[in-house]
């Protein structure tokens, strides 16, 4: 392209800019002298010119100008993040929040290796209290009870959660929303209320506090933690997979077994692990339903605290924390894993 043709093109583009700005007066409208530059620089000039002449000019903008405008939404988000970064005290407040959340847990982990007999007075590094915990019959019995309840509740809640998701997917939108609200109701109801209600219901049907009521109660409040990742996973699955299976002649049962369940497998494992951790960690509801022979680990830890804090409590808390971290990490990886 010759230099004269370039000047003619730039003059035409400048006229279009003045037209978009709402004026044809060469004396009042800004004259844009264009040099070859990036599209972003040209878009910035267009945006500044239009803003000076009023927002209504955007409706009159030629198509070739609209195509070269920068992404205003992206620019707004970036400017918002920049303002947040420069807001005084944000970094300091963030550090305080992180310390408030994690410093107590780090102290528990540190004092689990304390060689002294006092839980919060450092006397030197030692693994002696870990040996004490692993050879304590009461702690081992409480741990086995918690594991038994957690494993059974995990299996039952996972099966019920998967069946619920498959059934809710066939319901109408209103029915699915209502069923989801009923399932998630235990998340918003205080655990004290759930514990009292469960204890009253167990006695009403003729059962006594023990292992069976404990398993039933844990299964009930673990179901929402299974349903949530399953629902999130199901929303990301392309429905064409199910349509293709039907077009190929697969029955509903085969479609569920060969297509739906494999696609939901990461969320199923994630929900099952979350249910296991929630059951292992539960104290409030277990406190209403345990008997003399079915003491769970959280209940036993609480009884130790009432007698006086010793480093064995720090050891048990550290092991539970480690279990929660491992399970949460696995659950997060499985939930966020992308399909190949």
Could you tell me the residue ranges of all domains in the chain?
A: 3-83, 131-336
* Calpha distance 67→282 (Å, rounded): 57
pLDDT at residue 329 in the model: 84
DSSP 8-state secondary structure symbol assigned to residue 256: I
Burial class (CB in 10 A: 0-12, 13-18, 19+), 127: exposed
Residue with the larger pLDDT of the pair 12 and 193: 193
- The residues that bridge with 125 in the sheet, in sequence order, are 114
pLDDT at residue 51 in the model: 56
Question: Helix (H, G, I), strand (E, B), or coil: what is residue 208?
Answer: coil
CA-to-CA dists, residue 54 to 12, 19, 48, angstroms: 21, 12, 10
Considering only 228-237, 244-253, 257-266, 287-296, which range has the smallest mean pLDDT? 244-253
Q: Is the pLDDT of residue 102 over 80?
A: yes
pLDDT at residue 157 in the model: 94
Please provide residue 238's backbone torsions phi and psi, each rounded to the nearest 5 degrees. Answer: -70, 125
**Options 1.10.3720.10, 3.40.630.30, 1.10.3330.10, 3.30.470.20; CATH of 131-336:** 1.10.3720.10
* Calpha distance 32→322 (Å, rounded): 64
Residue with the larger pLDDT of the pair 115 and 54: 115
Question: Helix (H, G, I), strand (E, B), or coil: what is residue 121?
Answer: coil
What does the pLDDT average to over 38-44? 55
* Calpha distance 240→7 (Å, rounded): 53
* Calpha distance 256→264 (Å, rounded): 10
Q: Is the pLDDT of residue 77 over 70?
A: no
- Tens-place pLDDT, residues 185-229: 778 888 888 888 888 888 888 888 888 889 998 998 899 999 988
Q: Is the pLDDT of residue 152 over 90?
A: yes
* pTM score: 0.66
Contact 285, 191 (CB under 8 A): yes
Q: Is the pLDDT of residue 78 over 60?
A: no
What does the pLDDT average to over 129-136? 86
What does the pLDDT average to over 242-250? 75
Q: Is the pLDDT of residue 295 over 60?
A: yes
Q: Is the pLDDT of residue 30 over 70?
A: no
* Calpha distance 9→11 (Å, rounded): 5
Q: How confident is the model at residue 42 (pLDDT cuts 50, 70, 90)?
A: low
pLDDT at residue 56 in the model: 47
- Of the candidates 227, 289, 234, 295, the one whose C-alpha atom is nearest the C-alpha of residue 260 is 234
Residue with the larger pLDDT of the pair 92 and 88: 92
Q: How confident is the model at residue 154 (pLDDT cuts 50, 70, 90)?
A: very high
Q: How confident is the model at residue 79 (pLDDT cuts 50, 70, 90)?
A: low
Q: How many helices (H) and strands (E) does the chain have?
A: 16, 0
Q: What percent of the chain is modeled with pLDDT above 90?
A: 8
């Amino acid at each position: 392209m010759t230099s004269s043709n370039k000047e003619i093109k730039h003059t035409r583009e400048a006229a279009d800019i003045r037209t978009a700005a709402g004026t044809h007066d060469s004396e009042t409208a800004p004259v844009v002298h264009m040099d070859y530059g990036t599209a972003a620089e040209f878009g910035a000039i267009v945006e500044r010119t239009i803003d000076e002449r009023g927002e209504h000019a955007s409706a009159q903008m030629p198509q070739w100008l609209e195509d070269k405008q920068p992404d205003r939404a992206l620019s707004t988000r970036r400017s918002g993040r920049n303002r947040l970064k420069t807001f005084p005290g944000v970094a300091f407040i963030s550090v305080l929040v992180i310390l408030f959340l994690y410093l107590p847990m780090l102290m528990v982990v540190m004092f689990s290796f304390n060689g002294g007999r006092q839980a919060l007075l450092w006397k030197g590094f030692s693994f002696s209290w870990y040996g004490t915990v692993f050879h304590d019959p009461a702690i081992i019995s409480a741990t086995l009870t918690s594991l038994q309840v957690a494993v059974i509740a995990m299996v039952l809640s996972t099966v019920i959660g998967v069946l619920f998701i498959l059934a809710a997917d066939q319901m109408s939108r209103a029915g699915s929303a209502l069923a989801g609200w009923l399932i998630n109701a235990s998340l918003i109801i205080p655990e004290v209320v759930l514990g009292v209600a469960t204890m009253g219901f167990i006695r009403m049907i003729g059962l006594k506090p023990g292992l069976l009521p404990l398993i039933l109660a844990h299964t009930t409040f673990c179901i929402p933690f299974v349903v949530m990742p399953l629902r999130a996973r199901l929303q990301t699955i392309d429905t064409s997979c199910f349509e293709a299976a039907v077009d190929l002649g697969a029955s509903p049962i085969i479609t569920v077994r060969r297509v739906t369940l494999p696609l939901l497998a990461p969320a199923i494992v994630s929900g099952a692990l979350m249910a296991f951790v929630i059951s292992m960690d539960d104290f409030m509801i277990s406190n209403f339903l345990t008997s003399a022979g079915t003491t769970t680990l959280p209940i036993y830890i609480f009884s130790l605290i009432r007698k006086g804090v010793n480093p064995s409590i720090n050891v048990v808390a550290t092991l539970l924390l480690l279990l929660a971290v491992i399970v949460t990490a696995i659950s997060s990886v499985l939930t966020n894993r992308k399909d190949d």
